[in-house]
Amino acid sequence: GNSVTQMEGPVTLSEEAFLTINCTYTATGYPSLFWYVQYPGEGLQLLLKATKADDKGSNKGFEATYRKETTSFHLEKGSVQVSDSAVYFCALSVRKTSYDKVIFGPGTSLSVIP
Amino acid sequence: DVKVTQSSRYLVKRTGEKVFLECVQDMDHENMFWYRQDPGLGLRLIYFSYDVKMKEKGDIPEGYSVSREKKERFSLILESASTNQTSMYLCASSPRDRNYYGYTFGSGTRLTVV
């Protein structure tokens, strides 16, 4: 079946540190891949996406590359800020007959300290 | 700015009450979803709808029902609220034929059943 695995959290980093959150997936067909971010007390927001192999999604300094050979979509940022503290969800989307089924990973909590 | 609006950010209800959670989107999306989010359990799909008056059970539909009388509105109903339904409820929407689009989420409703 389809599934998403993320690295366990919580992750604590100092401001300006390099961030990597690992994500691997299992899927049939050709899924689209996403990273969502959830700030405290809020809903999820789409952070970035990639729709085919070797695509790179980017937004707000975050990047992730769709690696079909390793079935991975790792999230990276070169220099994190306190305002990046949030929970990050990796997700994939597979096409069904009438809708797109999105499967979310368990989320990785990130805390950035000054 | 396009959005998904959930009618309440916080709700407190008594055991046995009938509870309505409302969600409205202004993006003309065909698909709408209700999730609940609990610590350690991630996001779990309760119900979804891919058209007006259509509904499909998700992974945890027990104790819930839904209504979609208009395209922009998707209501989640707790027929007789119980304490184990205390949770964060998230509504989301997406267009039908673009699985690369991802979901747009509301800000969530934190429901406490006492």
pLDDT tens-place string over residues A17-38: 999 999 999 998 889 999 999 9
Q: For chain B, list the strands marked E by DSSP.
A: 4-6, 10-13, 19-25, 31-38, 42-49, 56-57, 64-70, 73-78, 87-94, 104-105, 109-113
What's chain B's Rg over C-alpha atoms? 13
- Residues of chain B with Cβ-Cβ distance to A45 below 8 Å are 105
Does pLDDT of A5 surpass 70?
yes
What is the predicted pLDDT for the residue at B98?
64
Asked if the Cβ–Cβ distance from B42 to A107 is below 8 Å, we say yes
Does pLDDT of A97 surpass 70?
no
Asked if the Cβ–Cβ distance from A106 to B42 is below 8 Å, we say yes
Q: Does B72 touch chain A (CB under 8 A)?
A: no
Query: Would you call B108 helix, strand, or coil by DSSP?
Result: coil
Does pLDDT of A100 surpass 90?
no
Average pLDDT, chain A: 92
Cα–Cα distances (Å) from A28 to A22, A93, A95, B45, in that order, read 20, 11, 10, 20
Distance from chain centroid for Cα A38: 11
What is the predicted pLDDT for the residue at B2?
62
Question: How do the residues of chain A divide into helix, strand and coil, expressed in percent and rounded to 5?
Answer: 5, 55, 40
Average pLDDT, chain B: 93
What is the predicted pLDDT for the residue at B21?
97
- Residues of chain B predicted below pLDDT 50: none
Asked if the Cβ–Cβ distance from A42 to B100 is below 8 Å, we say no
Please report which confidence band the pLDDT of residue A71 belongs to, taking 50, 70 and 90 as the band edges.
very high
Residue B79: name the closest of B16, B7, B8 by CA. B16
Tokens of B59: 């992974």
Tokens of A73: 């979509």
Q: Cβ contacts of residue A53 below 8 Å, gap of 6+?
A: A30, A66, A67, A68
Asked if the Cβ–Cβ distance from A94 to B99 is below 8 Å, we say yes
Contact in structure between B65 and B16 (CB atoms under 8 Å): no
Query: Would you call B87 helix, strand, or coil by DSSP?
Result: strand
